[in-house]
Structure 1
Amino acid sequence: MEKSIYTNQYGLFLATLRAARESAGISQTELAARLSVDQPLVSKCESGQRRLDFIEVREWCAAIGITLNELTDSFEETLMRAGKK
């Protein structure tokens, strides 16, 4: 089994997460401040250089003003559009 951080689906997940942040009008720097981390960490996570765990994803959602369910729904839509479901 291929590690999920290197799959196309994980890339689509990161794109969905990044799009949610951008749609909320929040920069990486602002997100980092809201999460009490530095901006390079946000960049590494969004580019797939550092993996996010479930709890971190939930915290990111709260920081950008969406629910985990909203992110999940958006990700499922992205997968369907990409023909991955």
Structure 2
Amino acid sequence: MPRSLSSARQKRLAELLIQYREQAGLNQAEVAKALGRHQPFVSNLESGQRRLDVVELLDLGEAIGFDPVQMIQELIRVPKS
């Protein structure tokens, strides 16, 4: 199974991160500050240039205010292509 940053699931993950952040009324810098990271970290996630590990997903859920379990359920429905 190749690990691709351009897979359909990776693209959907990036879309969802942007959607949840915007719905929360936050900008990338605010999310990064809540995570103790720099803004390019969030930008790279949202642009699909960086993969996300489970712990980071949990931290993002707390910082932005979304349920990581619901996000994963959404991603499971995306074909693996």
TM-score range, shorter chain: 0.7 to 0.9
Say if 1:78 and 1:22 are closer, same or farther in 2 by CA, change over 3 A. farther
Say if 1:61 and 1:52 are closer, same or farther in 2 by CA, change over 3 A. same
User: Which residue of 2 is the match for residue 55 of structure 1?
Assistant: 55
Letter in 2 for 1:40: P
Measure how far apart 1:69 and its partner are.
2.1
Measure how far apart 1:71 and its partner are.
2.5
Q: Which runs of 5+ in 1 are unaligned?
A: none
Matched, 1:37 2:55: no
Say if 1:23 and 1:53 are closer, same or farther in 2 by CA, change over 3 A. same
Letter in 1 for 2:37: V
Matched, 1:69 2:69: yes
Q: Are 1:14 and 1:47, in contact at CA under 8 Å, matched by a contact in 2?
A: yes
User: Which residue of 2 is the match for residue 3 of structure 1?
Assistant: 3
Measure how far apart 1:65 and its partner are.
1.3
Q: Are 2:13 and 2:75, in contact at CA under 8 Å, matched by a contact in 1?
A: no
The TM-score normalised by the length of structure 1 is 0.78
Q: Which runs of 5+ in 2 are unaligned?
A: none
The TM-score normalised by the length of structure 2 is 0.82
Please state whether the residue corresponding to 1:6 is helix, strand or coil: coil
CA-based RMSD of the aligned residues comes to 2.1
